Structure 1
Amino acid sequence: MPATDLSLLIEAAQEAGRVATAFSGSKVKTWHKPEGAGPVTEADLAVNEMLENKLRCARPDYGWLSEESSDNGDRLSADTVFIIDPIDGTRSFIDGSETWAHSLAIVRHREVIAAVVYLPLKGKLYSAASGHGASLNGTPIKPTDRVGLTGANMLVARPVMDAQHWRHAPPSVTRSYRPSLAYRLALVAEGRYDAMLTLRPTWEWDIAAGDLILREAGAVTSDRKGEKLIFNNPDPRVQGIIAGNTRVHHDISNALI
């Protein structure tokens, strides 16, 4: 990885924050994507355009995968790829909430090597580079040291706790939720929560940055079946994600059907 790749992502994320916050969430022009894929705003598109211009000019040989760009498949022949969510938590952005994020990652040979999750309205910038640890605003972070799933603080949507997903009864946990998937992952890396779990097929741009931040912080990530997450797939989705410290991750994996 070029030494400046993480610096490039940090600079781009900060510029994305300036672009996004120039829009007013409640008054921003909004459209709905086909097939119930959710809303997109003029802010999403403006941030995406800025990021694509900035990042691809800086690294013209890197491929490109973004929620707000057409995917023509060229990225599949690239060794290194940007995976970007211009605004993760668009509904929160529209509602005027602070809990939306810019999620930027660089993937090499299907593994994330540099990552940033930035929440401009909260002043929180999570970052990581492969082999160099993870930090929040420059301060190293690590996951909780909790032993055991019972009583854990988990970021999880209510439907995930339905009995149909678990070998026995759903575990007794304290459930919380944040609309931005990238932020949920970062909160586990930071040690604010013990684990995070989603079972639905999950877009790579939602989780690529968070995957590295978690692993570099010392947490464990996998898909819902316990398999290693790999990126830049032809269909850019993975089969859910489990994230937590080693023990909690193990307990969740074993408890799921």
Structure 2
Amino acid sequence: MQANDLTLLHEAALEAGRIALRYWKHAPDSWDKGDGAGPVSEADLAVNAMLEAELRAARPDYGWLSEESVDDPARLAAKHSFIVDPIDGTRAFLNGDGGFAHALAVTEGHRVVAGIVHLPVHGLTYSATLDGPALLNGKPLTPSQRADLIDAKVLTSKLSDNPMHWRAGEVPAYKRTLRSSLAWRLCLVAEGRFDATISLRAAWEWDIAAASLIAERAGLRTSDRNGAALRFNEAHPQADGIVVANAPLHQAFLDAIKPVPQ
């Protein structure tokens, strides 16, 4: 990682926000990507085009992985790579909800070393580097210390309500809430506004790369649903779900979630 990579990501994220807001609430063209991949809009593509042009011009030796770009396997041989989601939470964006984010990360090998998650409507910018604190608008983040699953405030989807995913055959009595942007969910836990976030379906790297570093630098544990460490810039860029919480609560979730056979 270069010393000013975080600054580069920050400036790109702010410009991404400016572009997105030109389309937000102005009925941008959108369509479904098919195969359960969800919607995409002309705004996603405009943000992606800017990010790819600006970031790759600034770091031509870095690999590139984006939700809205054709995957280039050359990234696998690069020492550093960008992993970006131009608009995380496209459904929210298209519904006029401000809970969408721009998630930008730099990896070194298989770990994230710099990350930015920016929500332009809410004026929120979360950031972290591998050797620095997790910040929100320049101020350190302090996560929840809650250790008990019961009544924990958890960001997750309705999929987690299915008893088949839990060892005991029943869903723990936590309080479930959802935000469209997966990156924002991790940041909200890092901020202490929620106690944990889990996803029991596969998670794309571009949704979680930047935010996973922010969560870790805030002092949280991050893993896939089986407890394995998250790795990035993989040939198949998906994690087998996620679990993000403070150490005791993270372990409580791992003890409760039914593991997926490997």
TM-score after normalising by structure 2: 0.96
CA distance in structure 2 between the aligned counterparts of 1:217 and 1:251, rounded to whole angstroms: 19
| Contact 1:26–1:94, Cα closer than 8 Å, also in 2 | no
| Contact 2:159–2:200, Cα closer than 8 Å, also in 1 | no
- Unaligned segments of structure 1, at least 5 residues: none
CA distance in structure 2 between the aligned counterparts of 1:93 and 1:256, rounded to whole angstroms: 31
- In structure 2, the partner of 1:179 is 180
CA distance in structure 1 between the aligned counterparts of 2:86 and 2:128, rounded to whole angstroms: 18
- In structure 1, the partner of 2:4 is 4
Deviation, structure 1 residue 156: 1.1
How do residues 93-242 of structure 1 correspond to structure 2 at under 5 angstroms?
93-168=93-168, 169-242=170-243
Deviation, structure 1 residue 25: 3.4
| Contact 2:31–2:40, Cα closer than 8 Å, also in 1 | yes
Deviation, structure 1 residue 24: 3.5
| Contact 2:127–2:134, Cα closer than 8 Å, also in 1 | yes
Does 2:39 correspond to 1:39? yes
| Contact 1:26–1:95, Cα closer than 8 Å, also in 2 | no
- In structure 2, the partner of 1:250 is 251
Deviation, structure 1 residue 202: 1.0
CA distance in structure 1 between the aligned counterparts of 2:26 and 2:155, rounded to whole angstroms: 27
CA distance in structure 1 between the aligned counterparts of 2:47 and 2:147, rounded to whole angstroms: 41
CA distance in structure 2 between the aligned counterparts of 1:6 and 1:72, rounded to whole angstroms: 23
1:138-171 per-residue CA deviation (whole Å, 9 max, x = no partner) reads: 0000211112211111001122122111111321
Letter in 2 for 1:241: I
CA distance in structure 2 between the aligned counterparts of 1:39 and 1:157, rounded to whole angstroms: 17
Deviation, structure 1 residue 21: 0.5
Deviation, structure 1 residue 135: 0.4
Instruction: Give the 4+ runs in structure 1 shifted more than 4 A.
Output: none
CA distance in structure 2 between the aligned counterparts of 1:129 and 1:7, rounded to whole angstroms: 11
Letter in 1 for 2:125: L
1:196-228 per-residue CA deviation (whole Å, 9 max, x = no partner) reads: 000111110000011100000000000000000
| Contact 1:33–1:40, Cα closer than 8 Å, also in 2 | yes
- Unaligned segments of structure 2, at least 5 residues: none
Deviation, structure 1 residue 26: 4.8
Deviation, structure 1 residue 39: 1.1
1:82-120 per-residue CA deviation (whole Å, 9 max, x = no partner) reads: 000000011111111000000000011110000000000
| Contact 1:89–1:181, Cα closer than 8 Å, also in 2 | yes
| Contact 1:104–1:209, Cα closer than 8 Å, also in 2 | yes
CA distance in structure 2 between the aligned counterparts of 1:124 and 1:198, rounded to whole angstroms: 23
Letter in 2 for 1:108: E
Does 2:81 correspond to 1:81? yes
| Contact 2:151–2:173, Cα closer than 8 Å, also in 1 | yes
The DSSP-based 3-state class of the residue aligned with 2:23 is coil
| Contact 1:142–1:219, Cα closer than 8 Å, also in 2 | no
Aligned-CA RMSD value? 0.9
CA distance in structure 2 between the aligned counterparts of 1:129 and 1:72, rounded to whole angstroms: 25
